[in-house]
Structure 1
Amino acid sequence: MARFTTLIIISIYYWAFGTAYAQNPVLRSSRNLISIRDGKVYQSDYWQVDPKIKQDIYETYVKTGETKKVSFISDTDSLEFNVGPGQTVRFSILLNGKDTAQTLIVAQTEIPSANFDVNYIALNNDKISIEIPKVCELMNLVLAITPLVYKENGLVYKSTNYYQTILARLPKNTRSKIVDIADSLININRRAYFNLKMDAYSFQFDQTGKIVPTKTYDRTGWERTNTLRPYIHHLQNFADSIRFWTCTMRTNIIMIR
C-alpha cells in the first residue's frame, strides 16, 4: 500500500510539473543554439538547448522599479518577455518538433557594484591611495596555498621573503574548507582566481575581527554578484584558526600579482 501511495504521489508530481509547462509558451527551433536579446545586449547562438536538463535557468538582472525585455530567438521562431526584479518566466523550447527543453528566465535585482555617496566622494575626490586591505591579504593568502596555485608558476611571487615567511609560520599541511573551495573553483575556471581576490576588497574586519561588508563596494570582480560572499563564513573560520586578526606576519611587501 505504501509503495502504491508513493507511485501515486510521484505520478501527480510529474503530471503537475508537465502540465505547468504545457500551459506556457513554446519556442520552436531546428537548432540547439538559441540567440538571446537581453535588454539592449544581443548574443548570437548564446543558449545551448539540452532537453536532458530538467529545468534550464537563464538569469538576468533588472534594476529596482524597472522592467526590461528578454527575447529568445531561434532559427524559426522567437519569444519576447517583459520581466522585472523577482519575476520568473516559464516556457518550453521544442527542438526538431520532438524534444522539449523546459526553460526558466529568472530576473534578479541588479545591485550596483559600488555606492559612492556624498561623504565618500568628499573624502576621496582628487586623491590617490594605495592600500592592502586585510581581507584582501587574507584571501590572497588562501589562494597562495591552494594546491593548484602552489604548484603553478606565474600567479604568486614565490621568491619574496613575505611568501616564505607565511609558509614557515603556517602550520604544516594547513587546509581548511575555504582553501578547498577556492582550489575547486579555480580548477573549474581560472577566472575564479581573479574574481575571488578582487571581490575580497568588498569586505573588511570590524574592531572585533569579524569579516563584514564595506559600505561602499558590493563587488569589485567581473561577475554580476560577489563570488566570495557565499564563502565568507569559511574565510572567517580560516582567519580565526590562524589568528590572522592578531598575528604579526603582515608586512608592506606585496606578495600577490
Structure 2
Amino acid sequence: MSSVSPLPPRLYRQVADRVVAMILSEGLTTGTRLPPERELALRLGVARSTLREAMIALEIAGQVVIRTGSGIYVAEGAMPDPADLGAGPLELLDARELIEGEVAARAAQAMDAARLRAIETTVAAMAQATDRDSHRAADRAFHLALAEATGIDPLVRIVDDLWSQMFGPMFERMGTLTGLFGGDDDTALTHHRAILDALAARDGAVARARMQAHLVDVRRVLLRGPDREDRAIAGDGGAA
C-alpha cells in the first residue's frame, strides 16, 4: 500500500524561515527596521504577496512588529521557529475562486424560489449590518447559502471549512492591515447583489464569472500597494 508523502512547508513558512535567518545572520537587534517590502522581496527572490504572508506569520509569532505607516521592525525577545498557521490568505482565495465559482454556477442551475429567498435574506442582512462581526457573519451566510442551494452536501462542508479558515489569525491580521474590513466602500455587498441577480436569472455562467470577480477583488484589496495609506505591511515609505 502506497503512502502519501508529507507536503513541504508552505511557501510563506519557508520565506519566514529565511527572514529569521537573515535577522540572525546580520545581527539585527530589537527595533531595527527591516528593508521595504519591494527591496526585501527582490533580495529573497520571492513574490511580494508571499513575503507579505510571511511577515504576518512572523508578527503573529511575536518575531516582528508591523507599525502602521512606518514599516516592519525586529521584535524584542528570542527568535523561535516561525509559526505554521495553516493555509495563507492568498492560498485560501485560490481555493475559493476555483470552488465557489463552480458552486455559484451550480446554484444558479438548481435555483428555486425558496433557495433564492434564503440567499436574499443574507444580502439584506449584510446591507443592514452595523459592525464588522455582523457584516462578516452575513457574508459567510451568503456563501454557505449558495453552497446549500446546489443540493450537494460535500460542497456545503467544503465551503464551510474554507470559511472557517478565513477567520484564522493570518487572514484577520492581513485584512485589518490592508483595509479589507471596515472600509467605507462596501464592495462585498455590491458583488453579492450582482451574484444574486445572476442567480435570480438562473444564469450559471454569469453567476460563476461574478463570483470569481468578487474573489479577485478581495485579493486586490489584500495586495494593495504602498501607494495607498495602508503602507504598514509593505514597509515602503514612512520614517525609520
- TM-score, normalisation: structure 1: 0.27
Q: Which has the higher contact order (CA 8 A, sep 6+)?
A: 2
Q: Whose Rg is larger?
A: 1
- TM-score, normalisation: structure 2: 0.28
Bigger share in strand = 1
